[in-house]
A and B are shown apart, each in its own frame.
Chain A
Amino acid sequence: MKKNKWYMLISLFAVISMVMVSCGGGADTAQAEAPAAEDAAVEEPAAEEPAAADAAAEPVTVDVWFHSGKGEEREVLDAQVTAFNEMQSDVQINAILLPEGSYNDQVNAAALSGDLPCLLDFDGPFLYNYAWAGYMRPLDDLVPADVKADFLPSIIAQGTYGGKLYSLGTFDSGLAIWGNKAYLDEAGVRIPTSIDDAWTMEEFTDALQKLNALDQVDYAIDFKLNYGPDDEWNTYGFAPIIQSFGGDLIDRTDYQSADGVLNGPESVAALEWFQSLFTDGYANPSPAGDDDFYGSKVAALSWVGHWMYGPHTEGLGDDAVLIPMPILGDKAVTGMGSWNWGITSTCENPEAAYTFLSYLIEPDEILHMTNANGAVPARKSAIAKSELFGEGGKLNIFVQQLENGVAVERPTTPAYPVITSAFRTAIWNIIAGADVQTELDKAVVTIDQDIQDNNGYPLPE
């Protein structure tokens, strides 16, 4: 008994070391010699056969990964998968839900180990790295032109890398300012109702001063810093400030450098203004929690996205009003982008995967999802049917911003993870009082070095 065990362990070790020697791809040769793995011979074909050979007779199975976040989103996707599997018999969806908090890391790990599924969703701009490295398949030949034209321009911009469309989202996000109408009226501040009459910088500054003067208000505007320093919010929410002033995260003509752009005079001015909001007491660098705007009501404005619609209406009722992004510098700019679907290049049946995706982007299914998670529907025809986002709807301002070029997509470059990491660090240091120019210079060095290290991220082909 005992000896057997040793023998097994030793032979296992021998096998494993052989596998490692031939790591490049010769795993199957080592497999054949493995005394322990008895049915080694069966293994090789088993992996590929069912999908390709019997396609005609049996349904094609498509593996799908989806971020598993809030209950409603997950429930809707579950229902959509079930409905899709029942309504036709050619394609069967095998959906795996990965926890949202660690989704990006899990997808990265899967890319590294080479087991990405056929279809999966990405968190906003994290797609480009995969497209650049050749893991993704362009969707241009799959998406009909009329369908493409029906999408919000922001969704197409987010999904396009190197001139090709790699992803489609079923919903988008919206960023603007929420206001407490009671406070705004009391302070005598004009409330803009469309992007055409957005606040100018002067009006915005005036509003902040007047609101700060109210007794009930501790500080005029809440920037949701309770989301923490390690959150994508920091780039999503605050990059529009520098863009509104005329700066940007990177020079978008060729995505080769951030120098002179991220640390240029416009960006520096933008973040010096941002910093002054904290030093002058208009904003709180350490909010007590999430609810300063809608719960304790110590803040009069909240710089945040569509996702707070629920809590804001619950806390403020009709007093919660949506205000378009102000024109801080040359123009008003806001953020956009959310989860978007892409098909991998290793997918054996991209058409089958697209069949499912095309089901998800049907206007009714889009509404099915956005009614649950409160996001902006990705297609104009779906928006038209939406009570909240359609013409005259309470949240129509988000759509106006997305349709009219107020919303700017985050840089469509594989350098994005480094850009956001560097920018996030800079933003928090600046909020804590660090010198703006120094912090942005540091961020630029980090970004430019990464681009150089990767030969400028040359486009595939």
Chain B
Amino acid sequence: MNMDQGKTSRHSIKKVKRLKKWLTYLVMSLLAIFFMFPIVFMLMSSIKNNEYQVVTDMSSLRAFLPVGELGFQNYKDVFTSQHFGHVMFNSVFIMITTVVIGLFVNSMIAYALARLRFKGKTFLLSSIISLIIIPFESVAIPLLVMVNHLPWFGGETSWLDSYHVQIIPFIADAFSIFLFYQFFIDIPKDLEEAALIDGASHFGIYWKIVLPLSKPIFATVAILQALNSWNRFMWPLMVTRGTDVRPLTVGIQSYFGQDPRLWGDLMAFASLITIPVLIVFLLFQKWFVRSVASTGIKG
């Protein structure tokens, strides 16, 4: 039956295929519009020089259109008044440090849990899993009181207003440990056993065998932790003071408060946070998708 159809209407199949292709594009473009409007809104508002116009446009469709007096005044304002470069550096620095150290700390305990035999393992594993669901909001206040009394190497007796107070508490992450654990438990044991017989240490196995095999899960966890760190707001709000170590999420709060607000500047600030992340995604998505593709979460 199939064969019959194929012979008689090869031409029409081609036609159907092309139709299907255009239909797909149509659906995808409609969806794209649906997903794009806040970004369009944000970008359009950010390039309107006149604050008054930004506000009046916001209540109509003009918000999505490049109309009126356009320019980069809002971007200039953001750079001159908010220490934007420095605040951006803070966010990036905190994110990278948290993620990189976090990858080691979390994968090592996960390796131990998944591959090594020791007393108390089951208890440790289930404790960590139950830690996943502790909402940060519930520990924030005790944590603040606590970090305020922690010593640091320079002799300080408080961690407030520093980089490390924004990094160290978030290095170990129960959900990341759980993801690593899920992945490690599926790695075949033979390689490891061979290495052990050859006299390799467990650290050697972790470093030379498990790590190279687990790049994908490292990528997944890195992205999850990076997004979390990038968006973290409540904690930096509580522990930072000046602009020295202030991250972007706190910096943007300068635009909220009393009315009328400087929507144009706010949108320029928001664009400067969003667009680089999207470009990174656009450039690295193949690599990202491929790495996630081979993680334990796939199947």
> Which residues in window 79-112 of A have CB below 8 A to B?
96-103, 105-106, 109-110, 112
Task: Given A67-B257, A109-B239, A112-B144, check contact A295 B250 (CB 8 Å).
Answer: no
A128-148 interface bits toward B, Cβ cutoff 8 Å, 1 = contact, 0 = none: 000000000000000000000
* Selected contact of A96 from candidates B52, B141, B155, B241, CB within 8 Å: B241
B277 sits at the interface (CB 8 A): no
Whether B58 is near chain A, meaning CB under 8 Å from some CB there, is yes
A311 touches B149 (CB 8 A): no
Residues 115-155 of B, flagged 1 when their CB comes within 8 A of A and 0 if not, give 00000000000000000000000000100111011111111
A381 shortest CB reach to chain B, Å: 25
Question: Do A102 and B149 touch across chains, with their CB atoms under 8 A apart?
Answer: no
* Of A36-44, A325-333, A349-357, the one touching chain B: A36-44
B242 with A310: CB separation less than 8 A: no
Given that A71-B262, A96-B242, A103-B257 are known contacts, is A15 also in contact with B237, CB under 8 Å in the complex?
Answer: no
Are the C-beta atoms of B253 and A100 separated by less than 8 Å?
yes
The chain B residue with its CB closest to the CB of A338 is B258
24 contacts between A and B (CB under 8 A): A19-B149, A19-B150, A19-B151, A27-B149, A37-B152, A43-B155, A68-B254, A69-B254, A69-B257, A97-B243, A98-B241, A99-B253, A99-B254, A99-B255, A100-B254, A102-B253, A106-B237, A109-B238, A224-B259, A289-B58, A290-B59, A291-B56, A308-B260, A311-B55
Task: Give the contact-size bracket for chain A.
Answer: 35 or more
* Residue from B155, B238, B242, B262 whose CB has the most chain A CB atoms within 10 Å: B155
Interface residues of B (CB under 8 A from A): 52, 55-56, 58-60, 77, 81, 141, 144-146, 148-158, 160, 203, 237-239, 241-243, 250-260, 262, 265
Contact pick for A71, options B81, B154, B260, CB 8 Å: B81
Shortest A317–chain B CB gap in Å is 13
The yes or no answer to A23 lying at the interface (CB within 8 A) is yes
Alpha-carbon distance A296/B157, docked complex (angstroms): 56
Min CB–CB distance A20 → chain B (angstroms): 7
- Known A-B contacts A37-B151, A37-B153, A70-B262; the reply to A100 vs B56 at CB < 8 A is no
Contact (Cβ within 8 A) B55 A289 = yes
Q: How many A-B residue pairs have CB under 8 A?
A: 145
Q: Contact at B59–A112, with CB atoms within 8 Å?
A: no
Which residue in chain A gives the minimum CB-CB distance to B237?
A102
For residue A105, which residue of chain B has the nearest CB?
B237
Q: Is the CB of A99 within 8 A of B250?
A: yes
Q: Is the CB of B151 within 8 A of A109?
A: no
Contacts of B148 in A (CB 8 A): 113-115
Residue A380 interfacial (CB < 8 Å): no
Within the assembled complex, what's the spacing in Å between the Cα atoms of A308 and B259?
8
Among candidates B252, B253, B260, residue contacting A311 with C-beta atoms closer than 8 Å: B260
Query: Taking the complex as formed, is A56 at the interface, i.e. its CB lies under 8 A from any CB of chain B?
Result: no
Q: Which of B154, B241, B242, B243 has the most CB of A within 10 A?
A: B241
- A172 within 8 Å of B (CB atoms): no
User: Which B residues are in CB contact (< 8 Å) with A296?
Assistant: 56, 59-60
Q: Does A314 interact with chain B (Cβ within 8 Å)?
A: yes
With A109-B237, A113-B160 known to touch, is A46 a contact of B155 (CB < 8 Å)?
A: yes
- A372: interface (CB < 8 Å): no
Bound-complex Cα distance A92 to B239 (A) = 25
A115 CB → nearest B CB, Å: 6
Decide if B259 touches A27 in the complex (CB within 8 Å). no
**Bound state CA distance, A101 and B257, in angstroms?**
4
A315 within 8 Å of B by Cβ? yes
Which residue from B58, B60, B238, B243 sits with its C-beta under 8 Å from A105?
A: B238
Task: Check A74 for interface membership: any CB of B closer than 8 A.
Answer: yes
Query: Within the assembled complex, what's the spacing in Å between the Cα atoms of A68 and B241?
Result: 12
Contacting pair A227 B151 (CB below 8 A): no
Query: How far is the CB of A42 from the nearest CB of chain B, in Å?
Result: 6
CB contact between B151 and one of A34, A67, A74 (< 8 Å): that residue: A34
Q: Is A53 an interface residue (CB 8 A)?
A: no
Besides A74-B81, A102-B256, A292-B59, 16 other CB < 8 A contacts? A15-B151, A19-B150, A19-B151, A20-B149, A23-B145, A27-B157, A34-B151, A38-B153, A70-B258, A97-B243, A100-B258, A109-B239, A114-B148, A289-B60, A290-B55, A311-B52
